[in-house]
Structure 1
Amino acid sequence: MTRPSDDDAARLARQGRITALVIAGTMILWIAANWIGAALGLPGRFAILFDLAALGALVWAFVNIYDMWRKRRNQTGD
């Protein structure tokens, strides 16, 4: 079992922070967009647009999480 280098660990940590920010930001923007859309009386198609944009960001985040898991697993030799 080998330990990851400091550079690899820093890259994984940075990737994890970015992914966490994308998830948190997506949820905040999604809630705000739905609230503003309802307050302005926008049609339902805009709510679907907000939902699809949020799903796209979350799919990107989950792909990143899987990539980080794979890199971490390869580094530790499991």
Structure 2
Amino acid sequence: MTKPSEQDMALARQARLAGAVMAVAIVAWVGLQFLGGQLGWQARYAFLVDFAALAAFAWGLIVTFRIWRLKGR
């Protein structure tokens, strides 16, 4: 069995980071939405949480697409 190249290891680290960011984003989003509902937060704070989660998902999608594109070389 051959040893993975340094580029493969770097892409694997990026993929793990993207997955972790997306997983933390969904857990934080659900938790903060629940907490905001229980504490009666204003709707603008719910939208702030939504936009932060969307930003995390967009970042994860961009990183994942970049990994996919680089792996195809």
What TM-score, normalized to structure 1?
0.86
Structure 1 residue matching 2:11: 3-state secondary structure = helix
The residue correspondences of 1:1-78 to structure 2 (distance < 5 A) are: 6-74=5-73
User: How far is 1:45 from its partner?
Assistant: 1.1
Partners of 1:42 and 1:25 in 2: CA distance = 22
User: How far is 1:44 from its partner?
Assistant: 1.0
User: How far is 1:40 from its partner?
Assistant: 0.5
Structure 1 residue matching 2:41: 3-state secondary structure = coil
Unaligned runs of 5+ in 2: none
CA RMSD of aligned residues (A): 0.8
What TM-score, normalized to structure 2?
0.92
Partners of 1:16 and 1:59 in 2: CA distance = 14
The number of residues matched between the two structures is 70
